[in-house]
Chains A and B, each alone.
Chain A
């Protein structure tokens, strides 16, 4: 039994921190509580494995753990890739004296932790109880299903086939010329910059700092455990974590991470289907979401193949966390806050919300004044931190004065996710400037688009991951090709490391003439 400081709660100091509670654990993607982690084999051996546990409100066995006369109850989670016969317990949950947020979250592992064996203990006993427990997990499915979402190569493979990343692409349809000229081609000439982002999957470790940074910068609300189990978490950027390989083999699992955010597609599928022009494209390549025009048909989210759009199912900013739970929700027509009927409170001042007044004042301090706070019924998504972009553009114009030198130099500002990333995996900038960092990264041969065949022309591209297995390792650990590649080749008739490189038509780098005075 291993006691570890929880990734988010630390030793318990962040138990009352909503952002931390709602941040999915990078590996288990668990929110709002801790679990008893054990390997899949151990869970099966103990009869605690839940077959087909993919669903909303996943139900897992509730067990009793006893160690040297102390006991604690908790839910079991079978974790692929964990060593057999080990149990991992995260500290920091199950606090009894905590604030509104931390109440009833998780179980207290301190209860069975002693000073004698404060990090590793032996001899724990697990007994099944008749109960089960439901968990809120943000990502249900762990396998990549042989789809080339994350592309990897070993170092040796990369050296032999440097252009492997685009070799995973689906075969191109025959070229055709469209009936109409693309109006965006004209509009591009009017923009001084063309924004784009490159995410290096070799650098990303899945730490999820970008998620928290984005949440804090863009006033992304938290929704609570019940809503997360209904798939309604609001994070604009998320880390997709896949397990690749065979869980039954020794060291058979590899984990890959990918930050997924709005790709700001030039041919955005979401824009076409919005009936009210609430999501449109600007001349600098951003897919802009107009909150005050959105009526909430949610067709844009259905049509987004990356599913990066988040919908405000409730007034998450006005409705207290306790009222976001359960199949029966309170309605302002009958509910009262602070002794006053919610309907009257709304009538007197529509902006007041139904939170107790102390919480309301705190909330106002919390929000970033540069970013709109969205009401219910409105769709939202990553905006490439447009407030920072505009701030930088304005500052540049002010600085430029009469000279007309309005292009923002590379590196003047960063998006929130880029700023927080400790590995500098996320790079954002002006792709119309060939000297900018992001342009250089996109020009690398590891560069690829996710879901290339849909031809959405995303501005966010990824650099494929390079693995460097140690050649001195024994045979079974010294893999020749990443597991995801094996899965891909099994499902598709494409062999990226064997064929001559095909230059896909739409992967050609576009020229982004910025029109006025680009350097």
Chain B
């Protein structure tokens, strides 16, 4: 007897970003927790519609930048003024002006790593295997369709009720997603 496949969640397709946004508001208001919307491009206002908080990526970048600047200054001071000071054209052993360009570049470099790394970390990427990626119709999410997915692990999830809710929101196509 074949095993009934586990259900990851329920997916609803929408045709316009406005429809998706209204649907998202309703789902948010209903109190669902484990759900998400999938769009080919970021939709203006969707974060508010989903009730998402501001992204903390900035903190990763900030820490990276500060690390970059201090390590640049420290490195230059240590190398040119402390470990092996050498007379160079009567110039001072350490000057914040001369040390500024490399430190500034390191700020930007480590800040950029922080931003990208933070983004990937917060997104839990790379994640090459995802139930939605196996779902046949989901490929349209990068094309021109908009999807709303409610995971089955959400406490408010119920196969019948959730489906009815999504139908009422104006979705044209609703399916179950297998794990």
Q: Is the CB of B91 within 8 A of A272?
A: yes
Q: Smallest distance from the beta carbon of A284 to chain B beta carbons, Å?
A: 11
Known: A180-B95, A183-B93. A282 touches B88 (CB 8 A): no
Kindly supply a per-residue 1/0 record for chain A positions 262-300, scoring 1 wherever the CB is within 8 Å of any chain B CB and 0 otherwise. Answer: 000111111110100100111100000000000000000
Kindly state the separation between the CA atoms of A182 and B87 in the bound complex, as whole angstroms. Answer: 10
Kindly state the separation between the CA atoms of A282 and B85 in the bound complex, as whole angstroms. Answer: 12
Q: Is the CB of A280 within 8 A of B87?
A: yes
Measured CB to CB, the residues of B under 8 A from A are 84-93, 95
Q: Is the CB of A182 within 8 A of B88?
A: no
Q: Is the CB of A281 within 8 A of B95?
A: no
Q: Is the CB of B89 within 8 A of A272?
A: yes
Q: Which residues of A contact B92 (CB under 8 A)?
A: 179-183
Q: Which residues of B contact A180 (CB under 8 A)?
A: 92, 95
Kindly state the separation between the CA atoms of A449 and B91 in the bound complex, as whole angstroms. Answer: 21
24 pairs, A vs B, C-beta closer than 8 Å: A179-B92, A179-B95, A180-B95, A182-B92, A183-B85, A183-B87, A183-B90, A183-B91, A183-B92, A184-B87, A266-B90, A267-B89, A267-B90, A268-B89, A270-B89, A271-B88, A272-B88, A272-B89, A277-B84, A277-B88, A280-B88, A281-B89, A283-B87, A457-B90
Q: Which residues of B contact A274 (CB under 8 A)?
A: 88
Q: Is the CB of B95 within 8 A of A277?
A: no
Cβ of A187 within 8 Å of any chain B Cβ, yes or no, is yes
Closest 4 CB pairs of A and B: A180-B92, A281-B87, A271-B89, A272-B89
Q: Which residues of A contact B88 (CB under 8 A)?
A: 271-272, 274, 277, 280-281
Q: Which chain A residue shows the least CB distance to B95? A: A180
Kindly state the separation between the CA atoms of A274 and B87 in the bound complex, as whole angstroms. Answer: 12
Q: Smallest distance from the beta carbon of A448 to chain B beta carbons, Å?
A: 21
| CB-based A-B contact count at 8 angstroms | 46
Q: Which chain A residue shows the least CB distance to B97? A: A179
Which of B84, B85, B89 has the most A CB atoms < 10 Å from its CB?
Answer: B89
Which of B91, B92, B95 has the most A CB atoms < 10 Å from its CB?
Answer: B91
Q: Which residues of A contact B89 (CB under 8 A)?
A: 265, 267-272, 281
Q: Smallest distance from the beta carbon of A253 to chain B beta carbons, Å?
A: 39
Which chain A residues (32-72) contact chain B, with CB distance < 8 Å?
A: none
Kindly state the separation between the CA atoms of A442 and B93 in the bound complex, as whole angstroms. Answer: 30
**New A-B pairs, 17, CB < 8 Å, besides A183-B93, A269-B89:** A183-B87, A183-B91, A184-B87, A184-B90, A187-B87, A265-B89, A267-B90, A268-B89, A270-B89, A271-B88, A271-B89, A272-B91, A274-B88, A277-B88, A280-B87, A281-B87, A282-B87
Which chain A residues (163-189) contact chain B, with CB distance < 8 Å?
A: 179-184, 187
Q: Which residues of B contact A282 (CB under 8 A)?
A: 87
Q: Which residues of A contact B93 (CB under 8 A)?
A: 183
Q: Which chain B residue shows the least CB distance to A290? A: B86
Q: Smallest distance from the beta carbon of A165 to chain B beta carbons, Å?
A: 24
Q: Which residues of B contact A179 (CB under 8 A)?
A: 92, 95
Kindly state the separation between the CA atoms of A439 and B31 in the bound complex, as whole angstroms. Answer: 92
Across the interface, B86 reaches (CB within 8 A) one of A267, A269, A280, namely A280
Kindly supply a per-residue 1/0 record for chain A positions 237-269, scoring 1 wherever the CB is within 8 Å of any chain B CB and 0 otherwise. Answer: 000000000000000000000000000011111
Across the interface, B90 reaches (CB within 8 A) one of A182, A270, A277, A283, namely A182
Q: Which chain A residue shows the least CB distance to B81? A: A183
Q: Smallest distance from the beta carbon of B93 to chain A beta carbons, Å?
A: 6
Kindly state the separation between the CA atoms of A231 and B110 in the bound complex, as whole angstroms. Answer: 45
Kindly state the separation between the CA atoms of A179 and B92 in the bound complex, as whole angstroms. Answer: 9
Q: Which residues of A contact B90 (CB under 8 A)?
A: 182-184, 266-268, 281, 457
Q: Which residues of B contact A277 (CB under 8 A)?
A: 84, 86, 88
Q: Which residues of B contact A271 (CB under 8 A)?
A: 87-89, 91
Q: Smallest distance from the beta carbon of B76 to chain A beta carbons, Å?
A: 13
Kindly state the separation between the CA atoms of A396 and B54 in the bound complex, as whole angstroms. Answer: 76
Kindly state the separation between the CA atoms of A267 and B92 in the bound complex, as whole angstroms. Answer: 11
Q: Which chain B residue shows the least CB distance to A186? A: B87
Kindly state the separation between the CA atoms of A283 and B86 in the bound complex, as whole angstroms. Answer: 10
Q: Smallest distance from the beta carbon of A122 to chain B beta carbons, Å?
A: 60
Kindly supply a per-residue 1/0 record for chain A positions 440-464, scoring 1 wherever the CB is within 8 Å of any chain B CB and 0 otherwise. Answer: 0000000000000000010000000
Which of A181, A182, A183, A282 has the most B CB atoms < 10 Å from its CB?
Answer: A183
Q: Which residues of B contact A269 (CB under 8 A)?
A: 89
Kindly state the separation between the CA atoms of A283 and B87 in the bound complex, as whole angstroms. Answer: 8
Kindly state the separation between the CA atoms of A436 and B86 in the bound complex, as whole angstroms. Answer: 29
Q: Smallest distance from the beta carbon of A287 to chain B beta carbons, Å?
A: 9
Kindly state the separation between the CA atoms of A181 and B89 in the bound complex, as whole angstroms. Answer: 13
Q: Which residues of B contact A268 (CB under 8 A)?
A: 89-90
Which chain A residues (184-241) contact chain B, with CB distance < 8 Å?
A: 184, 187
Kindly supply a per-residue 1/0 record for chain A positions 357-381, scoring 1 wherever the CB is within 8 Å of any chain B CB and 0 otherwise. Answer: 0000000000000000000000000
Kindly state the separation between the CA atoms of A180 and B88 in the bound complex, as whole angstroms. Answer: 14
Kindly state the separation between the CA atoms of A268 and B91 in the bound complex, as whole angstroms. Answer: 10
